[in-house]
Amino acid sequence: MRLLHTSDWQIGKVFRFADDDILPVLQQERLEAIGRIGRLARAQGAECVVVAGDIYDHLRPSERTLRQPVERMRQFPDLRWHLIPGNHDFNERDGLWERLARTGLPDHIVPHLAHAPAALDAAGTAWLLPAGLGHRHVIGDPTVWMDGAATPEGAIRVGLAHGSVRSFGEEAPGHNLLAIDRARQAGLSYLALGDWHGAQRIDARTWYSGTPEVDGFDLGGAGGGQALLVTLDGPRAEPVVESHAVGRFRWARAQAVLTCADDIAALEGRLRAIDPDDPSRVLVWLAVSGALGLSELEGWQARIVDGLGSALRLLRIDGAPGLAPSSDDLDAFGPGGAVRAAAETLARQAGEGDEAARAIAAAALQRLYLLARDGAGGMA
């Protein structure tokens, strides 16, 4: 059989850094990813989609947010969608899962709220062992019940769980811990996990799918933005796992030390190369340091702040290049006179004192430079 493994949709996620323009775009794209998952499953001949928790980002979504992923899944009645609660959307009394049930879910959308085997196919040759969460933090391994779960002899056993294996990440938390060898202990053909937002192979039968739409700068190159197509040829056959891209946005961190015009050009080229065909798919968090002359600062503003700031979906900048005017910059103010003297004073102040005072002096010098360059410097 073939199934598609996904997790951590986190519908309704709030991005704290995003302004009112970009927030709805990021939230909408998490919904659009569901359609891409359904089309991928259909094109690859998958019989079902297993979603390993955190369908929602929080426990009390609005009615619209609650229904939005259901409406996307409703468009694929030929696929069965198997869902479990995660730590963000755990199954609490009178919570979102009961609200979902009251909306009247289509038959092909199946929440698994109890730890009980469920058939994955009509013939009963494949069975799902779901281990959704009933609390945000569960003490004990929620997958331990799989070891003794009864399924027909010779059936394919697929585990579905949300949590961290003990050796996963730098330091696993003290809750929602899963045995790293649960697939072996429970005789699973495949264990589909959620919780970590980057895709991760634990062993041949145990995988994290990662989130289908990357949602943080730290995951830019760490495996987010995909779903896993899993082929199971039998209960003991090693699964064939293929990663397929389903995400739209590309997130990246970047650093730059700027000292000349060539550095600015190189930075622009590096950031545009992230997605040269469609830079509107790119979100960048840029850390900048260094110092530039007056003409180079113009280039920084025009090429990076204004140019790339308009081309990219988001350009978040920490820091800024300082001001280090060259002798050529000062020559723009003429060989002498009051304007030249003022420029020299501002240049000294831009390199002395506290950060606020330096910034004020640098801004004043830049304004004076633009006036001189554009012909008003004849007052010198």
208 falls within a domain:
yes
Domain termination site, one of 245, 273, 302: 245
User: Between 121 and 378, whose confidence is greater?
Assistant: 121
Query: Is residue 193 domain-shared with residue 303, that is, in the same domain?
Result: no
Residue 141: inside a domain: yes
With cut-offs at 50, 70 and 90, classify the pLDDT of residue 378.
Answer: very low
Q: Are residues 90 and 163 in the same domain?
A: yes
pLDDT score recorded for residue 52: 98
pLDDT for the residue numbered 175:
75
**pLDDT higher for 128 or 219?**
128
**Crossing angle of helices 338-349/355-373, nearest 10°?**
150
The pLDDT assigned to 247 comes to 95
Are 129 and 262 members of one domain?
no
Cβ 216 vs Cβ 15: under 8 Å? no
362 pLDDT band (50/70/90 cuts)? confident
Give the pair of three-digit tokens for residue 321: 């290049």
Residue 129 exposure: Cα atoms within 13 Å on the Cβ side: 24
| Structure-model confidence comparison of residues 170 and 6, the more confident one | 6
Please provide the average confidence, as pLDDT, over all residues in the chain. 90
pLDDT at 353: 67
Is there a single domain that holds both residue 216 and residue 301?
Answer: no
Choose the most confident range, by mean pLDDT, from 71-80, 131-140, 195-204, 340-349.
71-80
- In the structure, what pLDDT confidence band is assigned to residue 373 with cuts at 50, 70 and 90? low
Q: Is residue 133 part of a domain?
A: yes
Rounded to whole angstroms, the Cα distance separating 341 from 364 reads 13
- Average pLDDT of the segment spanning 254-273: 97
Residue 195 confidence (pLDDT) above 60: yes
215 and 301 inside one domain: no
pLDDT for 323: 80
pLDDT of residue 168: 44
Residue 380 falls inside a structural domain = no
Q: CATH code at 56?
A: 3.60.21.10
Whether residues 256 and 228 share a domain: the answer is: no
Per-residue model confidence as pLDDT tens digits over 141-193: 999 999 999 999 999 999 999 999 964 445 545 678 899 999 999 999 999 99
In a domain, 170, yes or no: yes
Question: Which percentage of the chain shows pLDDT scores above 70?
Answer: 91
Calculate the CA dihedral of residues 191, 195, 196, 201 and round it to 10 degrees. Answer: 0
Q: What interhelical angle do 23-43 and 63-74 show, nearest 10?
A: 20
Percentage of the chain surpassing pLDDT 90?
72
Residues 321 and 357 in one domain: yes
Number of domains the chain contains: 2
At 352, is the pLDDT very low, low, confident or very high (cuts 50, 70, 90)? confident
Q: Which of 214, 245, 276 is the last residue of a domain?
A: 245
Higher model confidence: residue 136 or residue 172?
136
Residue 364 has pLDDT above 90, yes or no: no
Same domain, 22 and 93: yes
User: What pLDDT shows up at residue 169?
Assistant: 47
Q: What is the pLDDT of residue 341?
A: 79
* The predicted structure's pLDDT at residue 283: 95
Determine which of 26-35, 234-243, 351-360 has the lowest per-residue pLDDT on average: 351-360
Q: Are residues 240 and 289 in the same domain?
A: no
Query: Do 132 and 263 sit in the same domain of this protein?
Result: no
8 Å CB contact between 36 and 212: yes
**Domain final residue, candidates 245, 262, 288:** 245
**Within-domain flag for 221:** yes
Question: What pLDDT was estimated at residue 172?
Answer: 46
Query: How much is the pLDDT for 335?
Result: 73
Give dist(CA 209, CA 195) in Å, integer. Answer: 9
- Residue 292 and residue 269 share a domain: yes
Query: Is residue 378 a part of any domain in this protein?
Result: no
Q: What angle do CA 52, 251, 272 make, to 5 degrees?
A: 150
Together in a domain, 223 and 107: yes
Whether residue 32 lies inside any domain: the answer is yes
- Long-range own/partner contacts, residues 305-310 (CB < 8 A, 24 or more apart): 307/268, 308/268, 308/271, 308/272, 308/279, 308/284
More confident residue, 12 or 371: 12
pLDDT at 379: 44
Residue 112 has pLDDT above 80, yes or no: yes
> Which range, of 143-152, 304-313, 338-347, averages the lowest pLDDT?
338-347
Q: Which uninterrupted H or E stretch holds 64?
A: helix 63-74
Is pLDDT above 50 for 123?
yes
Contact 4, 229 (CB under 8 A): yes
SS3 assignment, position 68? helix
- Containing domain of residue 302, as a range? 250-373
Provide mean pLDDT across the span 204-217.
95
What would the pLDDT profile of 55-103 be if each residue is shown by its tens digit? Answer: 999 999 999 999 999 999 999 999 999 999 999 999 999 999 999 999 9
